[in-house]
Amino acid sequence: MELQASYIQIVALALFTIGLAVTLTRRNVFFVLMGIELALNAVNLSLIGFAKTLPAAASVAGQILPLFTIAVAAAEACVGLAMIILIFKSQESVDIDNYSNMKG
């Protein structure tokens, strides 16, 4: 038994699914944010896993792209938390169902 390339993808898929579930089912806004981070991590893992299946020149992209993903995630967390603070000030709640202003 050796480590197979598809194992990595399966772990990544599991993590992504859990991240998605956290984002969509939990009503606490911090969990929503954490779910997004988890999903991003899963994508990073997937990228690195796929990079391992490519020949030398092509695989470099898989090593570089996670760095950018991490940077974007940092920016996203930064803005997201600022928005949470802003909304929290007016709503006094961390329940996203209370945030919903999209009622038709």
Partner 1 sequence: MIPLWLIPLFPLVGTIVLAIIALSSSDSKQGPAESITGAVAVLFPILSFLSVVTLSVGMPVEGIRGTIGTWIDTAAIQVNIGFLFDGLSRVMLLFITGIGSLIAIYSVGYMHKDRSFARFFAYINLFLFSMTILVLGDSLLLTFLGWEGVGLCSYLLIGFWHTDLKNTKAGNKAFIVNRVGDVGFLLGMLCLVSIGGSALLSYDALNAWLLNALSLGSISNAMPLLSLAGLLFFFGCTGKSAQIPLLTWLPDAMAGPTPVSALIHAATMVTSGVYLLARLSNLFVLIPAVLNIVLFVGLLTAFWAAIAGLFQNDIKKVLAYSTISQLGYMFMAAGVAAFDVSIFHVFTHAFFKAALFLGAGAVIHSLTGEQDMRRMGGLLKKMPLTSLVMIFGFLAIIGFPGFAGFWSKDLILERLYVSGPMGPYVYAIALLTAVITAVYMGRLIIMTFFGKYRGSKENEAHIHEAPASMLIPMLLLSVGSAFAGFLWAGLIPGAEFFREMLAPVVGAAQSYAMLGHTAAHLSPWIFAALGTLAAIIGMLIAWYLFMRPVPEAKGGSEPQGFGASWTFAFDKLHEYVGIIPTKVVAWLLDVVVNTIIMKAQWLTGGIIEILGDGIRAFQVRKVRLQAALSFIGMALITILVLIYGGLL
Partner 2 sequence: MLALIYFIILGVIAVGSALCVLLSRHPLYGALSLVVSMVSLAGIYGLLGSPFVGVVQIMVYAGAIMMLLTFVIMVLNGARDSKTPMFDKVSLFVFPAILLLAALLGFALISTPLAFNAETLRGSVALTSETLFNTNNKGPGYFLLFEVIGLLLLSAMIAAVLLAKKNLGSKETEEITEVH
Partner interacting with residue 96 (select from partner 1, partner 2, none; CB below 5-8 Å by kind)? partner 1
42, exposed or middle or buried, with CB in 10 Å at 0-12, 13-18, 19+? buried
Please, what is the minimum distance in Å from the beta carbon of residue 96 to partner 2?
A: 10
Please, what is the minimum distance in Å from the beta carbon of residue 104 to partner 2?
A: 17
Tokens found for residue 76: 């996203």
Tokens found for residue 75: 């920016």
Residues in Cβ contact with 79 at an 8 Å cutoff, skipping those fewer than 6 apart: none
Tell whether residue 75 is a contact of partner 1 (CB under 8 A). Answer: no
CA dist 26 and 94 (Å) reads: 11
Interface pattern 10-49 for partner 1 (x via CB under 8 A): ----------x--xxx------------------------
Residues forming contacts to partner 1 in the complex (CB under 8 A) are: 20, 23-25, 96-97, 100, 102-104
